[in-house]
Copies of this chain bind each other. A is one copy, B any other.
Amino acid sequence: MTSRLFSFIGGNTGPWRVTSARAVAGEPIAQTARVLVVPDLVADASSTPGWVLRGITSNERYVVRSEKDQLLAKQQGLGRPEATCAALIPIRKSPAWWALTQDERRAIFEEQSHHTRIGLHYLPAIARRLHHCRDLSGSEPFDFLTWFEFAPENEDSFNHMLVELRASPEWGYVEREVDIRLVRD
């Protein structure tokens, strides 16, 4: 069975070398040399040199059928040989976001912020996997961890996508965001 649970371990091991780790909003995260991605739940032991972030893949919460069909037709998987760049972007949204109802969240996410429409524009160059943290334990430091992979020549367009998303009304509900960039070596 494929794991839905993933742990991202910031420390001294793993194939992904950290090139930068910047707090976009809220508290930063400890600087580490490398990140190891493990398809399992790893406890945050005191022996861990840096940090452990944990998340679980789940069903989609906002896309409608027409959007999902477009995503499925265009998106590519992780692990492409040419995709030697990655980004790990942990995000926490505010209590005000979680107090909204489904229709209110959908309206901000897509009708106002065009989150899926923006993302679609950058497919298939950017591959991604979204992990949910909030319902894992009720006390995780972030709500979402998104892992992105792309080839070096697509880094500019990846950055452009983030500029678009961060300028959207949805990002008014982001109270903590860290942007960790990595290369595989």
Could you say which residues of chain B place their CB within 8 Å of the CB of A159?
Answer: none
Q: Looking at the assembled complex, report how far the CB atom of A54 sits from the nearest CB atom of chain B, in whole angstroms.
A: 11
Q: How far is the CA of A4 from the CA of B136 in the complex (A)?
A: 10
Quickly give the copy total for this chain.
Answer: 2
Contact A102 B135 (CB under 8 A): no
User: Are A65 and B138 closer than 8 Å at their CB atoms?
Assistant: no
- Give 13 CB contacts A-B under 8 Å: A5-B137, A5-B138, A41-B137, A56-B135, A56-B138, A59-B98, A59-B99, A62-B102, A65-B101, A68-B101, A102-B102, A135-B136, A136-B137
Residues of A within 8 A of B (CB): 3-5, 41, 56, 58-65, 67-68, 98-99, 101-104, 106, 132, 134-138
Q: Which 4 A-B pairs have the closest CB atoms?
A: A4-B138, A135-B135, A64-B103, A65-B101
Q: A41-B137, A56-B137, A64-B101 are in contact. List 17 more A-B contacts (CB 8 A).
A: A3-B138, A5-B138, A56-B135, A58-B135, A59-B98, A60-B102, A63-B101, A63-B102, A64-B102, A64-B103, A65-B101, A65-B104, A67-B101, A132-B135, A135-B136, A136-B136, A136-B137
